Amino acid sequence: MPYWLEVPIKSFPYLLKGAVTTLEVTSLSVLLGLLIGTFVGMGRLSRNPIFSRPATVYVEFIRGTPLLVQIYIIYFGLPSLGLNLPKFPAGIIALGINSGAYVAEIVRAGIQSISHGQYEAARSLGLTHWQAMRYIILPQAFRNILPALGNEFIALTKDSSLVSVIAITELLRAGQIVISRTFQSFSVYFAVALLYFVMTFTMSRMVRWVEKRLAIP
């Protein structure tokens, strides 16, 4: 077997471990992003500027700055303020905060897509604002925005490669480590790309499956 082929095959288990780390980092960031995005998305729609102003500032700032810079701020910048985060939490928080801004915009559009009559019907039955959100508005909104959320999660999977810069050995960094020992850039990077593709392709299929399952008759 030629060396260029032997390297990616032999180091496959190692790359796979990196891919698992990528999935771990991504899924935790997705959860954090969803949590932040749901509340910020609702906040942006609030009539009370105490909620809507900070939500808008957050969304605009995050979307207007590079993710790489955000990662640097959280991992290298915060320690100078006395807040030392280990690399894993730092990476997840940076990705989650970043994704939260995009999710917030998606959630906002999702809530706006539900007719106001739904909210009024819920309130007229005596449900509180939060109950109306929780049981009536958000479940419908999330169904509508599932495809957009799916795209966001796929984007986040790819963006998670950026946390390699703070020495988290996810898929990209695992590949780089293999290359530094073997100098087989092309075949190893190609294997890395393939693994990313398998992950994102599976995710897009899963989103479609969930979409079908949750579809309202």
The residues near 216 (Cβ < 8 Å, ≥ 6 apart) are: 143
If one asks whether residue 140 binds other proteins (CB under 8 A), the answer comes out as: yes
If one asks whether residue 135 binds other proteins (CB under 8 A), the answer comes out as: yes
Residue 116 Cβ vs other proteins, minimum distance, rounded to whole Å: 10
The residues near 87 (Cβ < 8 Å, ≥ 6 apart) are: 75, 163, 166, 167, 168
Residue among 42 and 122 whose Cβ is closer to other proteins: 122
Residue 42 Cβ vs other proteins, minimum distance, rounded to whole Å: 18
Residue 50 Cβ vs other proteins, minimum distance, rounded to whole Å: 18
Residue 110 Cβ vs other proteins, minimum distance, rounded to whole Å: 13
Residue 13 Cβ vs other proteins, minimum distance, rounded to whole Å: 44
Q: Pick from 143, 151, 189, 210: which binds other proteins (CB under 8 A)?
A: 143
Q: Pick from 65, 84, 128, 202: which binds other proteins (CB under 8 A)?
A: 128
The residues near 63 (Cβ < 8 Å, ≥ 6 apart) are: 101, 102, 105
Which residue pairs from 186-191 have beta carbons closer than 8 angstroms and sit at least 24 positions apart in sequence?
186/4, 187/4, 187/5, 187/7, 187/8, 188/7, 188/8, 188/11, 188/15, 190/8, 191/8, 191/12, 191/15
Residue 124 Cβ vs other proteins, minimum distance, rounded to whole Å: 4
Closest CA to 40 of 113, 118, 96: 96
| Cβ-based neighbour number of residue 210 at 10 Å | 14
Contacts of other proteins in 96-115 (CB under 8 A): 115
Segment interacting with other proteins, rule: CB under 8 A, options 44-52, 103-111, 124-132, 155-163 = 124-132
If one asks whether residue 122 binds other proteins (CB under 8 A), the answer comes out as: yes
Q: Pick from 118, 182, 185, 200: which binds other proteins (CB under 8 A)?
A: 118
Closest CA to 11 of 181, 163, 216, 213: 181
User: Is there a contact between 124 and 196 (Cβ–Cβ < 8 Å)?
Assistant: no
Q: Note the residues at the interface with other proteins (CB under 8 A).
A: 115, 117-118, 120-128, 131, 135-136, 139-140, 143, 216-217
